[in-house]
Amino acid sequence: MFKYHRIFIRGLLLFTIFTATQASAARIEGFEPDYAGRTIEFMTWTDPVSKNEIPAFTLRIGPQGRIQVETGVQEVLFCFAEFDSYRGKMIIIPGQTVKIKLPPLKEKTFEESKNPYFKPIELWIIGQVDGQEDLTTRFARFDQRFYTLQDKYFNQLFYRQQRQYLDSLSIPLEKEFAGISQQEFSWHRRLMVKTTEAGIMRTGREKLLGSVNEFPPAAWKLPAFADLTDRLLTNTLSQESKSAQGAKLRPMVTQQNLPELKKWTENLTGTVAPLSDLLLLKILHDAFYSGEFPKNSILQMLQQKHFSGHPVRGVREAAAAVHAKLQFLHTGTQAPVVCLPALTGDTICSSSNAKPFQYILFADLEIPVCREQVKYLTEIYERIGDRAEFLLILSPSEKINNLEFVRANNIPGRIVSDDSTLKTGRKYKIRAYPSALLINRDHKVVLSPAKTPLDGFELQLQGIMPR
């Protein structure tokens, strides 16, 4: 009897916890007839260094435009979504029901949709909670006032570098928004002002980070924090190593001397752990992409216990995310296997290659340069087709019949179609079409990126594919 009583109590406790958890999730409501039937996927960052994007929640808009979404968000969350011509941003608070207002519908033009350098209009998606402005709206209102004041004193701040005009920016903002006590808003306000201060300093700018050392890890995922660290620390190790005082930095990286790099970071930025450890991750991240330091040394440092066993979860997670990002499609690593429908209806998997190499080309035939690149595959295939399989992944199109184009131009290789969301392209982090990579029979990366057909792929292969 006692046994069943204990099971009942345990079940009741679990139900109570589950119910409380469900009740604390954030909810989003609204009515947007112009967006009826659409789906908007909101993402968030794993951390402010790698900025790896992971799904946060999906905003499904009903056939009449009704929005009623349980987000499942259990902690304060910065999230964003790209839809049409916009990049909408929100701050989600658990336990709140927010009635949002989306911006007027503005679809991309055809040219914008095919332009890899197109920048969407960035904005905060405003809303209300119980008839009062939500935190996102407060961010939006603050930013509008902030940029108005910054524009007003632009010459004094950025051309003449008159630091006293920072007071003309910060004091009015502090007074106008003094009634907002939310800590996330306070962090945002201070970070935005620091970003302006960073823009007018020329030496010792990195020490500004010491003024936000007391911010908890919860503040690290705010976009203003990432903006500040980007402005102050981008390519820092590369730049500092070229100075007379920086000659010791390259040996530190080569020898994986993490303790000395940590001391150097703390001295440079005026910060202490855990913030200094996060900033060191940012410095190592940029050093990897500079190509000026041993990449394997950086990858191995990211896996040292200093990061993997760090007492602060935000640092551990950032280190793991940065390592995963830097290792992705790195030479010698395993490339993701993809299985996609062929234009003729069968399913083709990239793992079913028996030749020594496989050349994977992502292309969108609506783009003229892609059509010419794809046509040139026929000439390359005649020279190396016995040693390399070609896998052509085409974006779906309503303007061009991909199958007719392939047949009319006798395009060789295995030809498949991505889905309407370009899921495979996003999986491989393709940012512009055409893009290519070369993998071996074991599905390991040989070249990433590889040259596209017309841009010198054959020359790049010399020495890799000997006869």
What is the distance of C-alpha 49 from the center of its chain? 9
Is the pLDDT score of 15 beyond 50? Answer: no
Q: How confident is the model at residue 160 (pLDDT cuts 50, 70, 90)?
A: confident
Can you read off the two tokens belonging to residue 447? 């070249």
Does 19 score more than 60 pLDDT? no
Predicted confidence at residue 200, as pLDDT, reads 85
What is the CB neighbour count within 10 angstroms for residue 182? 13
The side-by-side arrangement of strands in the sheet containing 132-133 is 66-70, 27-31, 97-100, 127-129, 132-133
DSSP character for 369? Answer: H
What is the distance of C-alpha 389 from the center of its chain? 31
Given a contact cutoff of 8 angstroms between Cβ atoms, the answer to whether 263 and 281 are in contact is: no
Per-residue pLDDT, 20: 38
**3-class SS of residue 339:** strand
Beta partners for residue 87, in sequence order:
82, 122
* pLDDT greater than 50 at residue 201: yes
Mean pLDDT of the residues in the chain: 90
pLDDT given at position 466: 62
Apex 221 CA angle, 220 and 223, nearest 5? 105
Place of tokens 């405003």: 126
Burial class (CB in 10 A: 0-12, 13-18, 19+), 211: middle
Output 440 or 113, whichever has higher pLDDT. Answer: 440
Tens digit of each residue's pLDDT (9 = 90 or more) over 65-99:
999 999 988 899 999 999 999 999 999 999 999 99
Would you state the pLDDT for residue 379?
93
The predicted pLDDT at position 467 comes to 58
* Percent above pLDDT 90 for the chain: 78
Per-residue confidence (pLDDT) for residue 411, from 0 to 100: 96
| pLDDT given for residue 7 in this prediction | 38
Q: Helix H segments across 328-434?
A: 368-375, 377-384, 402-408, 423-427
* pLDDT tens sequence across 420-454: 888 899 899 998 999 999 999 999 999 999 999 99
20-34, 40-54, 74-88, 366-380: segment of lowest average pLDDT: 20-34
How far is Cα 424 from Cα 11, in angstroms, rounded to an integer? 42
In 61-144, which ranges are E strands? 66-70, 77-83, 86-92, 97-100, 121-124, 127-129, 132-133
Q: Is the pLDDT at 5 greater than 80, yes or no?
A: no
Q: Are strands 414-417 and 388-394 parallel, antiparallel or unpaired?
A: parallel
Determine the angle formed by the axes of helices 313-327 and 295-302, rounding to 10 degrees: 150
Q: Span 219-226, mean pLDDT?
A: 96
pLDDT range class, residue 61, cuts 50, 70, 90:
very high
Q: What percent of the chain has a predicted confidence (pLDDT) above 70?
A: 95
The CA-CA-CA angle for residues 358, 363, 367, to 5°, reads: 160
Which pLDDT score, from 0 to 100, does residue 424 have?
Answer: 93
Alpha-carbon torsion angle 129, 132, 137, 141, nearest 10: -170
**Mean local confidence (pLDDT), 124-146:** 96
DSSP structure class, residue 444: B
pLDDT tier, 224 (very low <50, low <70, confident <90, very high otherwise): very high
pLDDT number for residue 213: 95
| 344 or 401, greater pLDDT | 401
| 80 neighbors 139 (Cβ within 8 angstroms) | no
Backbone angles phi, psi at 70, to 5 degrees: -90, 115
The yes-or-no verdict on residue 378 having pLDDT over 60 is yes
